[in-house]
Amino acid sequence: MADLTEKQMDKRERAKERREKRRQEISLLRSIPYSEHQRWWSAETIAVVTGANRGIGFEIAHQLALQGVTVVLTSREIAVGEESAKVLQEGGLKVVFHQLDVLDQESIDTFCAWIKENYGGIDILINNAGFNHNVGSENSVEFAEKVIKTNYNGTKNMVKAAIPLMKPNAAGARIVNVSSRLGRLNGRKNRISDDALRQKLEDADSISEELIDATINKFLEQAKDGSWTDGGWPQNNTDYSLSKVAVNAYTRLVARELADRPEGEKIFINCYCPGWVKTAMTGWAGQVTPEEGADTAIWLSLLPDMRISGKFFAERREIHF
Ligand code: NDP
């Protein structure tokens, strides 16, 4: 038993060392500026970030603006969003604010009409808005509906509304969905126990919106009648993990649907895990800063010679779903 504990500690130490090494590599990569021939974007390039008034979303808006893109910082609360945008505008960055609640269709429609009229469309969409009621090891499902609606339906609402607005662009338009490793289908510690369901959700060729919605709805029903604990759902942050399983599956589904678009009209859609980030969502208990958590979103948004779609990333590398 003592041996096992030592082995486990060794494994943890090694994982910690690997994480730290990658963190240093990324910090180095971030210090290398994009060269002129890599920069397919300009101040005419329009990036929209949801839930950008704070946390990772604010940092994504900040770093995209630092790269010279025009950023539309959105937030459901007007006053806080305007304040956040002002901070970046005062730093000389091209950032504009617009109200956007990803769960309110009227707000989405108003936003889309405004962006079409003022900018002709969107080049980069970052679906960052999210919610998790539990902090640490808590696992209440009291707010399961809000968690799933915000993370999954909010992302879906925005993808559906934005696709017709994505601008033709030789480098390809980009959609980045902020997800989480907690939503991995084949995570060792935290996964759906039904092998057949996992396989169906993993199969990019046959996955459907109906399957994703049916999976989520089954969980929500069980969350309401109390039977969810025996449902074979992920054990850790159950509602949140499932919301991100759904985001990941939906990312692959949309990538498949968009795959046949002609050159010049390509839209690349991917998802990523920002790591465990020090934000309000984690009670500021994460391992990395919001700047670091934003990095892979910026990398995916600006990647020159982009050909990748329907994949899952973390720390600028592809990871398994
Ligand atoms: P925060 O709680 O700091 O920020 C969440 C943001 O989402 C806020 O701006 C919030 O707005 C916004 N939001 C919530 N609901 C809506 C809505 N209906 N419409 C528009 N905006 C909304 O969290 P983080 O910055 O940590 O999280 C950002 C993303 O990163 C989320 O998708 C999260 O799941 C993901 N993530 C975070 C991790 C972490 O360790 N922090 C780990 C893995 C993934 P308001 O201020 O009005 O509430």
Across 142-146, average pLDDT: 97
φ/ψ (deg, to 5) at 118: -90, -30
Residue 127 CA, closest ligand 1 atom number: 32
Nearest atom, ligand 1, residue 277 CA: 40
Pocket-testing residue among 147, 237, 277, 288, ligand 1, by greatest number of atoms within 8 A of Cβ: 277
Pocket test for ligand 1, best of 58, 72, 128 (most atoms within 8 A of CB): 128
Residue nearest to atom 8 of ligand 1 (CA): 51
Distance of CA 256 to the CA centre of its chain: 18
Residue nearest to atom 31 of ligand 1 (CA): 130
Q: Is pLDDT at 89 greater than 50 in this prediction?
A: yes
pLDDT, tens digit, 9 for 90 and up, residues 54-83:
999 999 999 999 999 999 999 999 999 999
DSSP reduced 3-state for 176: strand
Confidence (pLDDT) at 1: 45
Contacts of 96 (CB under 8 A, 6+ apart): 70, 71, 72, 73, 85
User: Helix axis angle, 105-119 relative to 154-162, nearest 10°?
Assistant: 30
For range 24-53, the mean pLDDT: 97
Please choose, from the candidates 218, 212, 251, the residue with its C-alpha nearest in 3D space to the C-alpha of residue 233: 218
Other Cβ atoms less than 10 A from the Cβ of 226: the count is 9
- What average pLDDT does the structure give for the chain? 96
252/239 Cα distance (integer angstroms): 20
Q: Whole-angstrom Cα distance, residue 294 to residue 64?
A: 10
Q: What is the pLDDT of residues 247-300, one digit of tens each?
A: 999 999 999 999 999 999 999 999 999 999 999 999 999 999 999 999 999 999
What domains does the chain contain, in order, with CATH numbers? 44-318 (3.40.50.720)
Does the active-site annotation cover 240? yes
Segment 147-183, tens digit of pLDDT: 999 999 999 999 999 999 999 999 999 999 999 999 9
pTM of the entire structure? 0.97
pLDDT of residue 4: 62
pLDDT in tens, 197-242: 999 999 999 899 999 999 999 999 999 999 999 999 999 999 999 9
